[in-house]
Amino acid sequence: MDSIIVRGGTPLSGQIRIAGAKNAALALMPATLLSEEPLTLTNAPRLSDIRTMTLLLQSLGVEVTRMQDGKVIALSSHDLTSTRADYEIVRKMRASNLVLGPLLARAHEAVVSLPGGCAIGARPMDIHVSALEHMGAEIELRDGYLHATAPGGLKGAKVPLRFASVGATENVLMAATLAKGTTRIENAAREPEVVDLADCLRAMGAKITGDGTSVIEVEGVDRLHAATHRVVSDRIELGTYMLAPVIAGGEVECLGGEMRLLQAFCERLHAAGISIEETEKGLKVACHGDRPKAVDVVTEPFPGFPTDLQAQMMAMLCTAEGTSKLEERIFENRFMHAPELVRMGAKLDVQGGTAHVTGVDRLKGAPVMATDLRASVSLILAGLAAEGETRVNRVYHLDRGYEQVEDKLGAVGAHIERVDGE
């Protein structure tokens, strides 16, 4: 397995281009299943998760072509050959469950393995199942697979979500586009990735209102048509690279960044004393001289602080002045990076879903192990602030969510390299 080696102590300077959003693209790609006509996605990220979704869609009969060095994905599902999403593919990635709603809507049947992905606590499928059952689907779990049918097709309904799940909102949103009648999704997720999916579906002919709020209404149509859609910028990659100059010192402009994507995150950085400037091309973040101040963070559904930036924020707070409190309210078991940061000299006290972080003057380089996607990059960020060499092992997680991280950080002055695993 590859490792990333970081030698800290060098301020950063320059520009980093933010890629298209992984979490948006993984919902947009299954939308092709809703129509016999082609769907083209531009500004697509080049990640292993995108390759996994490609394999899954191809196993269903979808034609997938990558163009312009992978940044454009052309999809066509004019001839579906299967409605079964097999375990061998689905186990690699949680977002694989997003084929369930589209398959039910178009083919009126689906057999989908329970999904895999990062081991960051329970992310139950029962929200998806209950939501689709409100629309007339009949679903049972057998041998690790969800066997779903919709005799006569899905029907519009009021669909209350017990939790504002992004995945469940996206599954129902896609399913509702071809359902008979009007579907009202209550307690819907408000994330930018949901809005991006709605924008794409509207371009395909769907009738959707209310996306970006807690209530979305979808009036079903008979068919959807061809469309071209640009994937929204990745707000998690954006937040990650905004933290890089905060941790290492210096100034970085994140090209394609927008404040609206990360309002709560930016508010926490402002409270920590960090300068954020909107430019014509994106967002510029600067940290010269003084250490950031300690701040408290609580992860919440959008528009709150993103859980996918909690690990990176913890890395930053390890060298902040004072003691910070981090509360993880989205996923259980998502502080697995904490023991690795302690190996680097961090002062952390973790109790359940709360971590207290007391900043130190300087972290120390050490060999550490990545446990999940966001933990991987948090350890790389910590390495930027550490004295000596940090070796981050098991970085295969990293390639699921960040394209060419060593090239992007290296271009702004970081001493970072990827080496072959032993």
Res. 19: pLDDT tops 90: yes
Same domain, 134 and 280: no
Res. 313: pLDDT tops 60: yes
187 is known to lie in a ligand binding site: no
Dig out the tokens for 46 from the structure.
């080049």
Same domain, 272 and 414: yes
Same domain, 382 and 314: yes
CA 196/CA 176 separation, integer angstroms: 16
Res. 373: pLDDT tops 90: no
- Which of 186, 204, 230 is the last residue in one of the domains? 230
* Mean pLDDT on 316-323: 97
Domain ranges, residue 33: 22-230
Q: Contact at 8 Å (CB) between 174 and 105? A: yes
pLDDT value at residue 332: 74
pLDDT value at residue 252: 98
* Mean pLDDT on 320-335: 90
Question: Amino acid letter at 412?
Answer: V
118 is catalytic: yes
Q: Contact at 8 Å (CB) between 188 and 215? A: yes
Q: How many domains does the chain have?
A: 2
pLDDT value at residue 251: 97
Please, which pLDDT band fits residue 93 given cuts at 50, 70 and 90? confident
pLDDT value at residue 70: 87
CA 198/CA 209 separation, integer angstroms: 9
Please, which pLDDT band fits residue 20 given cuts at 50, 70 and 90? very high
The proportion of the chain whose per-residue pLDDT surpasses 90, expressed as a percent, equals: 86
Res. 219: pLDDT tops 60: yes
Q: What is the mean pLDDT of the chain?
A: 94
pLDDT value at residue 124: 67
User: Which secondary structure element, helix H or strand E, spans residue 315, and what is its range?
Assistant: helix 310-317
pTM: 0.91
In a 13 Å sphere around the CA of 34, the CA atoms on its Cβ side amount to 36
Res. 422: pLDDT tops 70: no
Res. 123: pLDDT tops 70: no
Asked if the bond preceding 151 is cis, omega within 30° of 0, the reply is no
94 is known to lie in a ligand binding site: yes
CA 14/CA 313 separation, integer angstroms: 21
pLDDT value at residue 396: 86
Res. 82: pLDDT tops 70: yes
Same domain, 95 and 222: yes
Question: Amino acid letter at 61?
Answer: G
The proportion of the chain whose per-residue pLDDT surpasses 70, expressed as a percent, equals: 97
Identify the residue with better confidence: 418 or 70.
418
- Neighbouring C-beta atoms of residue 272, cutoff 10 Å: 22
Same domain, 206 and 245: no
Same domain, 9 and 140: no
Please, which pLDDT band fits residue 421 given cuts at 50, 70 and 90? low
Domain of residue 258, CATH code: 3.65.10.10
Same domain, 26 and 153: yes
DSSP for residue 282? E
Q: Contact at 8 Å (CB) between 349 and 318? A: no
Could you give phi then psi for residue 73, rounded to 5 degrees? Answer: -120, 120
- Which of 173, 208, 230 is the last residue in one of the domains? 230
Res. 120: pLDDT tops 80: no
- Which of 197, 230, 263 is the last residue in one of the domains? 230
Please, which pLDDT band fits residue 371 given cuts at 50, 70 and 90? confident
330 is known to lie in a ligand binding site: yes
Cα dihedral 40, 44, 49, 50 in deg (nearest 10): 30
- The tens digit of pLDDT for each residue in 126-178 reads 899 999 999 999 999 998 899 999 999 999 999 999 999 999 999 999 999 99
pLDDT value at residue 118: 42
Q: How far is CA 63 from CA 38, 56, 74, 191, 302, in A?
A: 9, 11, 8, 29, 34
66 is known to lie in a ligand binding site: no
pLDDT value at residue 119: 40
Same domain, 148 and 238: no
Same domain, 213 and 145: yes
CA 206/CA 367 separation, integer angstroms: 50
Same domain, 58 and 129: yes
Res. 25: pLDDT tops 80: yes
Same domain, 188 and 318: no
